Amino acid sequence: MPPPLHCQGHISQCLGRILACRGDATVAAAGPGGRRLSGAEFVDGVRSLAAGLVDRGLRPGHVVAAVALNSVEYVQLFLAVTYAGAIIAPLNYRWSFEEAAHSVELVQPSAFVFDGAFSSWALRLTESDRFPSIGLYLLLGDPCRTGHAVAEFESVAHIKRSMRGATVMMEPMSAPGDVALICFTSGTTGRPKGVAISHTSLIIQSLAKIAIVGYGENDVYLHTAPLCHIGGISSCMAILMAGGCHVLIPKFDAKSAFDAIQEQGVTSFITVPAIMADLLSYPRKEMISDWGKTVTKILNGGGGLSLDQINEASQLFPHAAIFSAYGMTEACSSLTFMALNIPKLQEPKNQPGSHYGGVCVGKPAPHVEIRIGMDDNNTSSSPTGNILTRGLHTMVGYWANTKVDSSDCVRNGWLDTGDTGWMDKAGNLWLMGRQKGRIKTGGENVYPEEVELVLSQHPGVAGVVVVGVPDSRLGEKVIACVSIKDGWKWVDARTKHQGKGKEVSPQILHEHCRTKKLSRWSSDENILAFGN
């Protein structure tokens, strides 16, 4: 068994700051009847649960798989598992049972924790012989609100009550290799992989967000992102370390978010483009301009915001500094940050243009080292190449067969992000796109993300997805599937149109690409567009 924590970094060290800073509520569940816990109550719950898990056989290095919607108890579970030296492995609640079962087999957990919304998963796991490693099933939330069969499982609440007062002598422990978390990738190129992330990486990432975004003990942070995604987890950790207050809704929807902002005086939250789009299209947003002024920090990740979205968000939350972040699960969330607008400036900071293309994603965080790895066969003058990163933020490795495998992911200390980009003279990183998504057409490299960015700037385009399809002459053709905004008309390439007014056609999009410096491959025979 590893020795007790002394000088190592450990995410549970945030508990001391919570005790010092949070005499009032440190966590609150939004909505009628929502729970509110003071700092002392929150910390006591974490330590009691940790002692209870150890009492029931959990040991350093064991894995605890969990599936639940966001809740006060889920945040406590995350800290309690790692306090006991075990490793938390949150499952994506949007998965099917078979997708979840694959991940459970991958991490071979000693315990499985679930809330009432996923009781069917727990029952199926117990009835199958595929998961012999699971020796403990625990229910998050109130057992009285679940079915009779599920209520037979021991609840986390019962463990905390039974262990109060038994935590005085217990010190936080660490798992072998400093691993705190197994966070699953999105699985866009296959089945999700389990990314092993260390205590050190989580701490470093938290400090970066505190330094750049400015989180502090006076922040009231709304959990808009699920606690199974690295963005939601890392921002949660940053607020815990800053000593701020957490406001939890089970999962995001615009009404619940706006209600929480009004009721709790929310100062900060994170978004992805879909979340921001829902907030901006919320029918009652015009009625909330007064209490939208409490928001001072918005961090966006998972894709860029359009200039229209930035402008609208600045009007809806007039005192909010809006940041964007580029990152990935394997790098424990954010690699670079960029301020999209700063309050009291007349207009948002626009992204600078360049003849190399791509989208600017800002400068590396203080703890992050980035370089561009050039292909040995690259003889062109273009500065683009594989984006590599090095530092304490990178993952320990991928989890497989009860251990970490880092042989194929980190070479000479550098993690290959799988993305392609370049660095400008000011130190900004420009993102071109995914290496695996690259389209090779007529001898040119085309990144779908680059084309999508350009086409989305057309005033009539609401959304666009770009893919490559095989072509006997060009190798691949570029296909754009375009969604048109309300009030605009799609004119097919074979249909005669007047070329004026609110019309969008393949020819118009061809010309739009050419004017945006994509002429190297944008020919009528190459880009084909299909509208809704």
| Structure confidence by residue, pLDDT tens digits, 20-31 | 887 777 888 876
pLDDT at residue 434 in the model: 80
Neighbouring C-alpha atoms within 13 Å toward the C-beta of 98: 1
- Which is more confident, 408 or 221? 221
More confident residue, 162 or 475: 162
pLDDT higher than threshold 90 for residue 138: yes
Cβ neighbours of 332 (radius 10 Å): 31
pLDDT recorded at residue 347? 40
Higher per-residue confidence, 214 vs 288: 214
Residue 153: which of 117, 127, 114 has the closest Cα? 114
* Share above pLDDT 90 across residues of the chain, in percent, rounded to a whole number: 51
Mean per-residue pLDDT for 89-96? 94
Q: Which two tokens stand for residue 396?
A: 């320990």
Average pLDDT score over residue span 177-186: 92
Rounded-to-integer distance, Cα 333 and Cα 310, Å: 22
Strands 245-248 and 220-223: parallel
Residue 127 confidence (pLDDT) above 80:
yes
Q: Which residue has the higher pLDDT, 411 or 220?
A: 220
Burial label, 290 (beta-carbon count in 10 A; 0-12, 13-18, 19+)? exposed
Average pLDDT on 193-200 reads 95
The better pLDDT of the pair 5, 66 is held by: 66
C-alpha 157/C-alpha 201 separation (Å) is 30
If you average pLDDT over every residue of the chain, what do you get?
84
pTM for this structure? 0.84
* Distance between CA atoms of residues 415 and 212, nearest Å: 23
Q: For the beta carbon of residue 296, count every other beta carbon within 10 angstroms.
A: 18
pLDDT of 507-516, one tens digit each? 777 777 766 6
What percent of the chain lies above the pLDDT cut of 70? 81
Handedness of CA 114, 115, 119, 123 (dihedral sign): positive
**pLDDT score at 495:** 57
What confidence score (pLDDT) does residue 490 get?
Answer: 80
Q: What single-letter amino acid sits at 314?
A: S
Distance from C-alpha of 316 to C-alpha of 323, rounded to nearest angstrom: 15
Q: Which residue has the higher pLDDT, 183 or 35?
A: 183
pLDDT tens digit string along 289-330? 566 789 999 999 988 888 888 999 999 999 999 999 999 999
pLDDT reported for residue 348: 39
Spacing of C-alpha 159 from chain mean position: 31
CB 341 within 8 Å of CB 310 = yes
> What is the pLDDT, as a whole number, of residue 502?
80
State the pLDDT at residue 346.
Answer: 39
Q: Any alpha helices (H) in 223-369, and if so which ranges?
A: 230-242, 254-264, 273-280, 307-316
Q: What's the start-to-end Cα distance of the chain, in Å?
A: 61
Ramachandran region, residue 203 (left: φ > 0; alpha: ψ -120 to 50; beta: rest): alpha
Q: CA 220, 235, 93 angle in degrees (round to 5)?
A: 105
Domains of the chain: 11-341 (3.40.50.12780), 437-532 (3.30.300.30)
Q: Where are the alpha helices (DSSP H) in 56-96?
A: 72-83
Write down the pLDDT at residue 181.
97
Q: What is the 3-state secondary structure (H, E, C) of 397-442?
A: EEEECCEEECCCCEECCEEEEEEEEEECCCCCEEEEEECCCCEEEC
Residue 367 CB neighbour total at 10 angstroms:
17
Chain length of the chain: 532
Higher pLDDT, 2 or 259: 259
- Give the best-scoring range by mean pLDDT among 384-398, 400-414, 484-498: 384-398
Better-scored residue on pLDDT, 31 or 394: 394
pLDDT in tens, 355-375: 567 889 999 999 999 999 976
E strands within 280-424? 297-300, 321-328, 333-341, 359-360, 363-364, 369-373, 385-390, 397-400, 403-405, 410-411, 414-423
Assess contact for 10 and 199: CB atoms under 8 A. yes
pLDDT in tens, 230-277: 999 999 999 999 999 999 999 999 999 999 999 999 999 999 988 998
